Structure 1
């Protein structure tokens, strides 16, 4: 036997390395003594082996499906795979790095090897978040963490404070959105090594930028999902169209998921996580729902840092966001506010089909309600839901609980044509909508390229094997229709697996240097300067019940938010006629168009297509 294989040492099995905040149940872990403990759950087998470099050694069973092995003299970068009784060699489901792809060997990684430069970084308050969503593979021509890091200083200069990465967990093939990850602890190799991801985050922190990561626990992908093959009992009988659904009531899977969230936050010094589609995570039989346990575990394990947790949740419920008595966040900081997007998009574009159908009426009263009190749906009947009421009253929550946006990866890439909002509305309207987004008290989010109103297309793309019956043209057509493209034709659907679909989705940075792009970018920078200077200081520690709708009718809005001792005021007249609205008081922060300010005080006359922000 190779001297690296030391066998099972019971005294070291539960020893957590000193540099870790928590013990990790799965994977390859250096112990405090410098050995490596390999640990995996496999159901229904009595024997398992580890192939470490060129040596294959039996592992020891510790019962309940767990196998372990303690090895000495294992340098970082050593390849390893687990060997099933039938001879199949599988990567580590909790491995940190890969030798090639999700079908190959995992690599042993020393997580302490990276030397952090911004080691004193503690994050920023959530009230300071201005989120910029990126896809690493298409944010730059190179599609790597290293190339993306070179763009961070430009985003900081614009006033962005938070980078949100679309999922980076390793998935099958080289290119994809990342929502079909199968090795949830492994950064996707095409983007770089774990050290490259850490360097990206380190660079961001050095610039004062937070970094959040999108994580997916409601399903695992299909290509390379060996975990389902050797541990089928950890998945639910009924899966999803995108892959099998983890059974988080089973302790090995529950630990796998919660520890994964802790791993990203602790080992990569991330500032927060965005949890994909939590309404699709089923956990009815546990004493404490996994999403509650998740947040409590994270907040207990990582004190002394600003750690922000965000959910995507189509139910429009408040349970995950209720504040403690002192107004502190108990579980989750915020939720993606899809209803705001749907209302604005349906009104601005005239697209009323698909999921916009529910929002294709009473636009301005509902936009007003959303800006003042949170969700667009707060207990309404929807035909598709029968007698079930959708949503809950949310006005008692702080405005920063809601993340508003004009588009995101889903709302562009799933449209079939990959067309952005900026290609479908007039520049003047686009400017007003961006002003309303960035200067309202909710947390604003933009998609990469929004700062210069990129017209570049962003498609759904993947690198599925040829025999995969996944995302057929008919599937994509139905998806496009659901996302508002009512006149989409089958022959317009691009092949997601064609490398050209991926290439054309890369952000064209030359657009930002055109005369129009430079003008829009300057306006974007000015809006964020005003948010930083005037609005952010009022949002810290602000409670709920602060928004009040004064006027909300066709094209007209007047909303006040009482932010401590100051009143933040929004007035907009998006109609084609002059209108009378309640006057503003105090300092005028932003006026569009510039000449509109003259008539808004004593006479309360608001020019057509105008937006006024004031603070008194």
Structure 2
């Protein structure tokens, strides 16, 4: 095989035609590599420059294979497109062209139309069962579903953030073709499909890279999961960027959410990924790139990313709704209404100020449009990172939750819901895994020790009550019972009404929106205003407190929605109320020299 430069080899098994496959493995610490096929063939791979081993051979789709390292260790392909079983089993050659798309004309939807529904595929029963729920979600008014990570992980139940084979859809959820069918069906219903991807670490079980490719990691920098990934190396950088492109091009996902980029100590990687995606995606498609980023780096949203999960907004709302002040809510315990007002008016609550940990957090964000921020009341983290996985429906008065839901769904920020929110589900969402042996014990103890600093779990006996992540019952308890979701209960009627307002009244006005600021009215009340793209003014008056608040309310003819049965006075905002109003045109305030 002729010499090729290091950057021309795509990782893994790539079919070059229906009968031939090229296998490429970056293994700079190996002396000898072979590909072991299921028919018993052992094919030595040819060493190339910069640590690559490559071979092209007769091999069709569906063939199972492994790589053998130095005649000592059989490993799965780190870029496996599918696994026959678990992460330690053989990899499978996949033909990316085998699926016939029914909705090949789909080009996506503009970002301002995003109403995101986050879900866990396993908890919903697999790719096929999720597909069965799509028409219900579309009818409700959802416009996008976001899948928690589906990359192959150890065992058959996991949140997905312990994945070790990022190119392979989780086999316990179904086949690659079933995942494509889910996406295809969603597109036929007008739904975008977004995917949560994890590029900040590999899981602890099934990661063999340290044996033959130590260069994937750098020991001089560590993350909460171990040695940091070394994105300085082009082979490593391409491994993840090619993965992003696979999901967007071969599976036709409409966007990606990059998990915890604050744990990626190389901002240039995120920018490079986004720029290469933009360069290779058909310009006629709507493809959206979003982030989770505790550092609140506004500059990433200025350049090539479309939105960020706004943890600040959630944390302030959670404190206002529940009164909880421990853990990561401690930074929002003092005057949470002011922090919420800053989120609604400027994006982030923390824009460079020093937190309780003694270090500055965030960058100025007031110049960014409201759509750069994804707002939520709940998501997998904010429910599942609780010891008992309780939802807000168990933690705050229902009237207050209704008021907060109106803010979520009618502000110009992009709203995100978590599965079950729409019918007021009371099932918990717990942290679950299916590790075995010593790792199982370590995960169980680590989970319980996370809460040692909480007053409720001060002693070991109290912590022992926290559900074991590895117990099957923990997973079963976390599965929403969709048979218990009546079509017309109070919560569904609320969501349907609010989403109809967003769709029919706000969608067309959202492009070009900008904040006009937010004013604190009381300890749990505020008023926020935005100029929308057509010049109209959207105003939201929110009162999450138990007492009415005196303020001048908008005139009746401009009101779109309020969450209490009746507003009797134009000067009193009732308890647990969100009043949303839209004035026909915006008149700039006079400037004074």
TM range (shorter): over 0.9
Q: How far does the alpha carbon of each residue in 1:141-162 deviate from its partner, in whole angstroms, 9 at most, with x for none? A: xx21011100000000111111
CA contact (8 A) 1:160 1:209 kept: yes
CA contact (8 A) 2:389 2:429 kept: yes
Task: Name the SS for the 2:167 alignment partner.
Answer: strand
Residues 1:264 and 2:247 aligned together: yes
Q: Counterpart of 2:524? A: 555
Task: Name the SS for the 1:49 alignment partner.
Answer: strand
CA contact (8 A) 2:400 2:577 kept: no
Matches within 5 A, 1:577-588: 577-585=547-555, 587-588=558-559
Q: Counterpart of 1:490? A: 463
Distance 1:574 1:233, change over 3 A: closer
Task: Name the SS for the 2:450 alignment partner.
Answer: helix
Task: Name the SS for the 1:492 alignment partner.
Answer: coil
Residues 1:525 and 2:505 aligned together: no
Residues 1:112 and 2:106 aligned together: no
Distance 2:544 2:153 in 1: 45
Residues 1:341 and 2:314 aligned together: yes
Q: Counterpart of 2:589? A: none
Following superposition, the deviation at residue 551 of structure 1 comes to: 3.7
Following superposition, the deviation at residue 480 of structure 1 comes to: 4.0
Distance 1:44 1:528, change over 3 A: same
TM-score (norm 2): 0.93
Task: Name the SS for the 1:444 alignment partner.
Answer: strand
Residues 1:192 and 2:177 aligned together: no
Following superposition, the deviation at residue 552 of structure 1 comes to: 3.9
- Among candidates 372, 384, 403, match of residue 401 of structure 1: 372
- Among candidates 18, 29, 52, match of residue 66 of structure 1: 52
Residues 1:312 and 2:282 aligned together: no
Greater shift in the superposed pair: 273-282 or 480-489: 480-489
Distance 1:66 1:262 in 2: 21
Task: Name the SS for the 1:468 alignment partner.
Answer: helix
Following superposition, the deviation at residue 580 of structure 1 comes to: 2.2
Residues 1:213 and 2:183 aligned together: no
Matches within 5 A, 1:365-380: 365-380=338-353
Residues 1:298 and 2:265 aligned together: no
Distance 1:537 1:37, change over 3 A: same
Distance 1:474 1:582 in 2: 54
Q: How far does the alpha carbon of each residue in 1:421-470 deviate from its partner, in whole angstroms, 9 at most, with x for none? A: 11111111111111111111111111100001111011111111212166
Q: Counterpart of 1:571? A: 541
Q: Counterpart of 2:417? A: 446
Following superposition, the deviation at residue 236 of structure 1 comes to: 1.7
Distance 1:551 1:495, change over 3 A: closer
Matches within 5 A, 1:592-607: 592-596=563-567, 598-600=568-570, 604-607=571-574
CA contact (8 A) 1:37 1:70 kept: yes
Task: Name the SS for the 1:583 alignment partner.
Answer: coil
CA contact (8 A) 1:204 1:210 kept: yes
Q: Counterpart of 1:234? A: 216
CA RMSD of aligned residues (A): 2.1
Q: Counterpart of 1:275? A: 258
Q: How many residues align?
A: 575
Structure 1 segments unaligned to the other structure (5+ residues) = 1-7, 15-21, 323-329
- Among candidates 35, 39, 43, match of residue 57 of structure 1: 43
Task: Name the SS for the 2:123 alignment partner.
Answer: helix
Following superposition, the deviation at residue 510 of structure 1 comes to: 3.3
Task: Name the SS for the 2:122 alignment partner.
Answer: helix
Q: Counterpart of 2:154? A: 172
Greater shift in the superposed pair: 233-242 or 404-413: 233-242
Distance 1:135 1:242 in 2: 22
Following superposition, the deviation at residue 264 of structure 1 comes to: 0.7
Q: Counterpart of 1:18? A: none
Greater shift in the superposed pair: 226-235 or 472-481: 472-481
Matches within 5 A, 1:458-469: 458-468=429-439
Q: How far does the alpha carbon of each residue in 1:7-35 deviate from its partner, in whole angstroms, 9 at most, with x for none? A: x366xx79xxxxxxx97610111125852
TM-score (norm 1): 0.89
Distance 2:218 2:285 in 1: 35
Distance 1:429 1:45 in 2: 60
Structure 2 segments unaligned to the other structure (5+ residues) = 584-593
Residues 1:87 and 2:58 aligned together: no
- Among candidates 359, 363, 372, match of residue 392 of structure 1: 363
Distance 1:339 1:89, change over 3 A: same
